[in-house]
Amino acid sequence: MAEVLYTPHFKRDAKRLPVSLRKLIEDRLKRFKTDPFDPLLKTHKLDGKLRGHWSFSIDHKIRAIFSIEDKSVFVLHAIGDHSIYD
């Protein structure tokens, strides 16, 4: 199981999301901890100014951005709609 760390920015973003998404977010984070590259998450590398970061899907609209610090240490940086890429 992967070690997952949360930045203060990620925690703040998560609190701003609708309460109706909390259960889904918890489910996706649990799945991420078990296998960050689970096909359901649609994990992919980012490029441009976010080069070196990765993203995975919570649902069709919400994404999470993370970095890999070690083979089993993942740092979640942001969560939200596509505006988090800006």
Output the pTM of the full model. 0.93
DSSP sequence for 7-62? -HHHHHHHHHS-GGGHHHHHHHHHHHHH-TT-GGG--EE--GGGTT-EEEESSSS-
Chain mean pLDDT for the chain: 95
Q: Model confidence over 1-15: pLDDT tens digits?
A: 889 999 999 999 999
Instruction: Give pLDDT tens digits for 26-44.
Output: 999 999 999 999 999 999 9
Domains of the chain and any CATH numbers: 3-85 (3.30.2310.20)
pLDDT band at 71 (very low <50, low <70, confident <90, very high): confident
Please give the Cα distance from 59 to 18 (Å, whole number): 13
